[in-house]
Amino acid sequence: MTAADHTHAGSDAIRYIVDSLASHAQPTGTLSAAKVATVLGEANMTPAQGKKVLKQLAASGVTLSVDDSGAAKPRKRVLASNAIVTPASQATTVSAVPAIKTTPSKRAAKKTSDKAGVGKGKQKGKAGIEGGGDGGDAPESGPSDAEIAAGAVPAESLAVDEEIELADSEDFDWDDEDSEALRQARKDAELTASADSVRAYLKQIGKVPLLNAEEEVELAKRIEAGLYAAEQLRLAEDDGVELEVQLWRDLNWVMRDGERAKNHLLEANLRLVVSLAKRYTGRGMAFLDLIQEGNLGLIRAVEKFDYTKGYKFSTYATWWIRQAITRAMADQARTIRIPVHMVEVINKLGRIQRELLQDLGREPTPEELAKEMDISPEKVLEIQQYAREPISLDQTIGDEGDSQLGDFIEDSEAVVAVDAVSFTLLQDQLQSVLQTLSEREAGVVRLRFGLADGQPRTLDEIGQVYGVTRERIRQIESKTMSKLRHPSRSQVLRDYLD
């Protein structure tokens, strides 16, 4: 009777499988790893339950061998990135890591490579955690297959190997949902990455050491040489001149060295961009966006820097960084874009307004601002109008916040019910009056005043419709208007003029 016929839930199933495997291990006390994998697969055991079975087998004194026949079989002893050391066993074990399900073609390739590995010799795996190490790629000599087959190695020391073999089994796959810790770790990592993006960037740029004046000059010379080499290569290519191989290699090396120097100078001054970008926060752009725009100005400064002037690079680059940030704010920070020159005027007006507020102790008048800026008061009011920020109609008003700003704004295009009814009655009365005229007279009036489609027609256009001259249309219009002015027709329409 197999273990699959006695699959139970919880500890009863684990106890039954342990007893069954222990009986198979008698009398030598050795059990093959393939047998354990088969039994666990038939019992549909989870990775956590399989680990408990291995631990109980080790506690029972059962040792695992690689193969029943004792033949050497290559094994991979891979230490997962999230391996942990349990104090109870003091052995390196692997937490529940989901394994990639291999397709039949991949399994066949794996078996072929395993057979080839037997012919070439046993392959040792990567080293585990030892003495606080970081689990690098350095190989470590583990127990031999002969020692394992002889029972010299406890079952717990093979926990990593057996779990990997179980993960590769066709009938026993790691279930990602079984590891709550992994799911929580992924969630925490995503939240941390999104919340600490600024901190991660600052930490990264902080690793690059600052430069002194001599190092800046040296990098600037290399950049200049690289630009010269790139220009020579471009001219040679445009003119179709074939350079000597050695000369071509030298120019390419100098060009690449100039690019490396440019990157070094950029990375060493990224902290300067951050310090300047902090001054412009809270003005409509995110902090990281300000940093990126400042980095564009830093790139421009590196390309234009002239070390022969004797100034430090940071002094020169500050102006380019500020310009890039202010231009970006003028283009992107406002909902309604304002030209750059007008943004500069608005900033100047705001600066003068703050100075006068400190001097006078009150808000300055438009006349006082106009005098300081040497412009007219009307121009000051116009600039202040441009500087206003749009607000949302959905903005709440009041302490309770149950009303919105849009509820208090009149809709000038809304149709009033009284006016709509009055206009409908006027149309009905007008049609009744026109029915008292002849068909031609009523048609001329409708076309002349646009009563049908709202588009008035000229005398020539109406004459073309009826096939007569414009003078004849004028006569018909004059005669018809005289009829409409008669009290019998006009009295019903005169009430709508009030």
pLDDT of amino acid 49: 77
pLDDT of amino acid 283: 82
State how far the Cα of 289 lies from the Cα of 489, in Å rounded to an integer: 73
pLDDT of amino acid 497: 75
Block residue for tokens 């008698």: 26
The pTM for the full model equals 0.43
How would you write the pLDDT of the chain (498 residues) with one tens digit per residue? 444 444 445 677 787 787 878 777 776 777 777 777 788 777 777 777 777 788 787 777 777 775 544 444 444 333 333 333 333 333 333 333 333 344 444 444 444 444 444 444 444 443 333 333 444 443 344 444 444 444 444 444 444 444 434 334 344 333 444 456 556 655 555 555 544 788 888 888 888 899 998 999 999 999 999 999 999 999 988 888 888 899 989 999 999 999 999 999 999 999 999 999 999 888 888 888 999 999 999 999 999 999 999 889 999 999 999 999 988 988 888 888 888 888 889 989 999 999 999 999 999 999 999 999 999 999 999 999 988 888 888 888 877 777 888 888 888 777 778 878 888 888 888 888 888 889 999 999 989 988 888 889 999 999 999 999 999 999 999 999 998 888 888 887 877 776
Beta bridge partners, 32, equal 65
Q: Which long-range contacts (CB under 8 A, 24 or more apart) does 45-50 make?
A: 45/13, 45/14, 45/17, 45/172, 46/175, 46/178, 47/96, 47/163, 47/166, 47/174, 47/175, 47/178, 48/96, 48/178, 49/13, 49/14, 50/163, 50/166, 50/172
Q: Where in the chain is CATH 1.20.120.1810? A: 205-333
pLDDT of amino acid 113: 45
Class of domain 417-497: mainly alpha
pLDDT of amino acid 395: 85
Q: Where in the chain is CATH 1.10.10.10? A: 343-408, 417-497
Cα-Cα end-to-end distance for the chain: 106
Beta bridge partners, 31, equal 64
The two tokens of residue 89 are: 């066993």
Beta bridge partners, 93, equal 84
pLDDT of amino acid 188: 56
Q: Report the CATH number of the 343-408 domain.
A: 1.10.10.10
Residue type, position 459, single letter: L
Residue 146 has a CB neighbour count (10 Å cut-off) of 12
pLDDT of amino acid 177: 44
The two tokens of residue 216 are: 């800046």
Four-residue CA torsion sign, 135, 141, 145, 151: negative
Give me the CATH topology for the region 205-333.
Four Helix Bundle (Hemerythrin (Met), subunit A) (1.20.120)
Phi, psi of 73 (to 5 degrees): -130, 125
Give Rg (Cα) of the chain.
44
